[in-house]
Amino acid sequence: VRHGWMAPTHVLRCCQRGLAWIPVIFIALVVCWSYYAYVVELCLFIYLTVFHVSFIMFVWSYWKTIFTRPATPSKEFCLPKSEKEQYEKEQHPETQQEILKRVATSLPLYTRTGAGAIRYCDRCQVIKPDRCHHCSACDMCVLKMDHHCPWVNNCVGFSNYKFFILFLTYSLVYCLFIAASVLQYFIKFWTNDLPESHAKFHVLFLFFVAAMFCISILSLFTYHLWLVGKNRSTIEAFRAPVFRNGPDKNGFSLGFSKNIAQVFGDQKKYWLLPVFTSQGDGFSFPTRLVTIDPEQPTECLQPAGLDKG
Q: Which residues of the chain have pLDDT under 50?
A: 1-6, 290-309
Give the pLDDT score at 80: 93
Distance between CA 111 and CA 120 in Å, rounded?
Answer: 11
pLDDT digits (tens, 9 = 90+) for 102-158: 999 999 999 999 999 999 999 999 999 999 999 999 999 999 999 999 999 999 999
pTM attached to this predicted model: 0.84
Tell me, yes or no, whether 99 and 243 share the same domain.
no
Give the pLDDT score at 111: 95
Give the pLDDT score at 305: 37
Q: What is the dihedral of CA 61, 62, 68, 71, to 10 degrees?
A: 90
Tell me, yes or no, whether 110 and 258 share the same domain.
no
Tell me, yes or no, whether 213 and 190 share the same domain.
yes
Single out the catalytic residue among 132, 141, 149, 214.
Answer: 149
Give the pLDDT score at 177: 92
Residue 110, in any domain of the structure: yes
Tell me, yes or no, whether 245 and 162 share the same domain.
yes
Residue 264, in any domain of the structure: yes
Tell me, yes or no, whether 185 and 218 share the same domain.
yes
Distance between CA 116 and CA 127 in Å, rounded?
Answer: 14
Tell me, yes or no, whether 20 and 52 share the same domain.
yes
Tell me, yes or no, whether 255 and 112 share the same domain.
no
Residue 202, in any domain of the structure: yes
Distance between CA 277 and CA 255 in Å, rounded?
Answer: 19
**Domain count for the chain:** 2
The residue range of the domain holding 111 is 75-128
Tell me, yes or no, whether 187 and 62 share the same domain.
yes
Give the pLDDT score at 183: 86
Tell me, yes or no, whether 16 and 120 share the same domain.
no
Distance between CA 125 and CA 127 in Å, rounded?
Answer: 7
Tell me, yes or no, whether 161 and 250 share the same domain.
yes
Active site (annotated) includes residue 141: no
DSSP secondary structure code for residue 245 in this structure: T
**49: exposed, middle or buried (Cβ count in 10 Å: 0-12, 13-18, 19+):** exposed
Tell me, yes or no, whether 90 and 20 share the same domain.
no
Distance between CA 293 and CA 248 in Å, rounded?
Answer: 10
Give the pLDDT score at 47: 80
Tell me, yes or no, whether 173 and 255 share the same domain.
yes
Residue 301, in any domain of the structure: no
